[in-house]
Amino acid sequence: MNLIFLVLILAAFLAAAWRELTELDADSQPMQELSQAAISSAGSAVELAIGLVGVMALFLGLMKIAEAGGLLTVLARLLRPLMTRLFPSVPPEHPAMGAMILNFSANILGLGNAATPFGIRAMQELNKLNPHPGTATNAMALFLAINTSSITLLPTGVIALRASLGSAEPAAILPTTLFATLFATTAGITSALVLQRFFLPPAPTADAGPDAQTRSPESREHQAAETRDTGEPAQQEAQPLGIDVPTQGYPGWVSALVLLGVLGIIPLTILYGQTIAPWIIPGLIVGFLLFGVARGVRIYEVFVEGAKEGFQVALRIIPYLVAILVAVGMLRASGALGVFVGLLAPWTTPLGLPPEALPMALLRPLSGSGAYGIMAGIMQDPATGPDTHVGLLVSTLQGSTETTFYVLAVYFGAIQVRRIRHTLAAALTADVVGVMAAVFIVGWLFL
């Protein structure tokens, strides 16, 4: 992000300087416009964050109730039968499995702050099963491909931002996000499973020692078999982050029914999305409160605790919003952004990706804060706004795709993996499919 930020500012400065020195129009003052853009963009970023405080506190308060009521555990039990089939090389009772399940469950609920610690712990545990330290395993590649495809069913952060900007239907992106994230996740899983046949791990060395043998796939299968036979793990280890992960999932047919139910919701939300949208936010509020009551949660105290976190989150993002909105504002005022978008727009516009949304689509895999800032700037602009086609498209892109390079850098950096094999290819495939699905569904529903 350091390089991206520097490039944006330098490009804006050089473009404005070139115009200042070459344009003969006395009324044209590019450098003065650049200065005004930097100052006004900084003020807009602070106003945006302050407006976001209330709705962010509301949504994080509700999510805190769901978390305290054990919704993560419920999702973990639902995902467990599927996870054991997706990751056959990971023993069902190994801490890596529990950490991955909690990571996916947190992502599904839009709890990004909780998902990252679980993801790092999962990578650390997967590395203990790695016969080739420093090289990504198939399980690591698949895990990160799913992560970068977002798998978000409740894009609460984007809904909160849309509400703070005065959207008439903040939750209108729920069906579009669900559609796009499903296709992105499917593409990520498929590409990871296909590419692993071509990107083979290094051949085992003769001097790898007994430790490598104990971490081989055969030994892991033996450990899994021993677990199934005795009912206890072959090696007891602490559960990730002190959170109790259920050792047994729901019966397979229960998980299958829930999955079919989610898949069945997609066509319903597409067909009746505009009718359902006004009900979504009131329904979420009532649903989470009733869930908390049913689970014995002191809903008022827990909600207030979560709302405090929402207040802090909204304030913490101010510096990031200032940085990226100033950079983008300067780039736009200098004319450099218009030139760049003008070069690509003839290629992307026929595909349904309008010029206004193009910077967001290009920056999303590189920088989460940068993409968030561009999305906020687009929806703040009266010419686009949150409820136009462009506003709905960038909201869907933000909710249904992930910051690929950030995820890979953080997760692989935590375990010092340098040979990532097919991970990046699978992750970028998920990104491209996610963008295509978002463009298609937003264009179909809202054009």
Three-state secondary structure string covering the chain: CHHHHHHHHHHHHHHHHHHHHHCCCCCCCHHHHHHHHHHHHHHHHHHHHHHHHHHHHHHHHHHHHHHHCCHHHHHHHHHHHHHHHHCCCCCCCCHHHHHHHHHHHHHHCCCHHHHHHHHHHHHHHHHHCCCCCCECCHHHHHHHHHHHCCCCCCCHHHHHHHHHCCCCCHHHHHHHHHHHHHHHHHHHHHHHHHHCCCCCCCCCCCCCHHHHHHCCHHHHHHHHHHHHHHCCCCCCCCCHHHCCCCCCCCCHHHHHHHHHHHHHHHHHHHHHHHHHHHHHHHHHHHHHHHHHHHCCCCHHHHHHHHHHHHHHHHHHCHHHHHHHHHHHHHHHHHCHHHHHHHHHHHHHHHHCCCHHHHHHHHHCCCCHHHHHHHHHHHHHCCCCCCCCHHHHHHHHHHHHCCCHHHHHHHHHHHHCCCECCCHHHHHHHHHHHHHHHHHHHHHHHHC
Between 188 and 6, residue with greater pLDDT: 188
Half-sphere exposure for 145 (CA within 13 Å, toward CB): 36
Q: Is 38 exposed, middle or buried (0-12, 13-18, 19+ CB in 10 A)?
A: middle
Q: What is the mean pLDDT of residues 89-109?
A: 82
pLDDT band at 107 (very low <50, low <70, confident <90, very high): confident
Distance (Å, whole) CA 306 – CA 214: 44
User: Whole-number mean pLDDT of the chain?
Assistant: 79
pLDDT band at 266 (very low <50, low <70, confident <90, very high): low
CB 58 within 8 A of CB 310: yes
- Closest of 136, 57, 2 to residue 314, by C-alpha: 57
Mention every residue, 6+ apart, whose C-beta is less than 8 A from residue 180. 396, 397, 399, 400, 401, 434, 437, 438, 441
CB 355 within 8 A of CB 349: yes
> How many CB atoms sit inside 10 A of residue 45's CB?
25
pLDDT at residue 447 greater than cutoff 80:
no
- Of 239-248, 308-317, 354-363, minimum mean pLDDT range: 239-248
- Closest of 51, 6, 117 to residue 318, by C-alpha: 51
pLDDT of residue 247: 61
CB 405 within 8 A of CB 365: yes
* The residue type at 183: F
Tens-place pLDDT, residues 367-384: 676 788 888 888 888 888
With a pLDDT cut of 70, the percent of the chain lying above it is 85
Q: Which of 20-34, 236-250, 346-360 has the highest mean pLDDT?
A: 346-360
Tens-place pLDDT, residues 278-302: 777 788 789 889 999 999 999 999 9
pLDDT of residue 241: 44
With a pLDDT cut of 90, the percent of the chain lying above it is 17
pLDDT of residue 292: 92
- Of 308-322, 334-348, 394-408, minimum mean pLDDT range: 308-322
| Angle subtended by helix axes 30-68 and 252-294, to nearest 10 | 90
Between 221 and 98, residue with greater pLDDT: 98
- Of 50-54, 228-232, 318-322, 352-356, minimum mean pLDDT range: 228-232
- Closest of 61, 341, 104, 374 to residue 245, by C-alpha: 104
pLDDT of residue 113: 61
pLDDT of residue 218: 39
Between 203 and 123, residue with greater pLDDT: 123
Distance (Å, whole) CA 447 – CA 438: 13
Tens-place pLDDT, residues 172-198: 888 888 889 889 999 999 999 999 999
pLDDT at residue 1 greater than cutoff 80:
no
CB 94 within 8 A of CB 233: yes
pLDDT of residue 114: 64
pLDDT of residue 210: 39
pLDDT of residue 20: 85
| Angle subtended by helix axes 138-148 and 404-415, to nearest 10 | 150
What pTM was computed for the model? 0.71
As a whole number of Å, the CA-based R_g of the chain is 23
pLDDT at residue 19 greater than cutoff 90:
no
Mention every residue, 6+ apart, whose C-beta is less than 8 A from residue 415. 123, 124, 126, 127
- Closest of 107, 153, 174, 164 to residue 392, by C-alpha: 174
CB 404 within 8 A of CB 431: yes
Q: What is the mean pLDDT of residues 116-145?
A: 89
pLDDT of residue 204: 59
Tens-place pLDDT, residues 236-265: 344 444 455 556 667 777 878 887 877 777
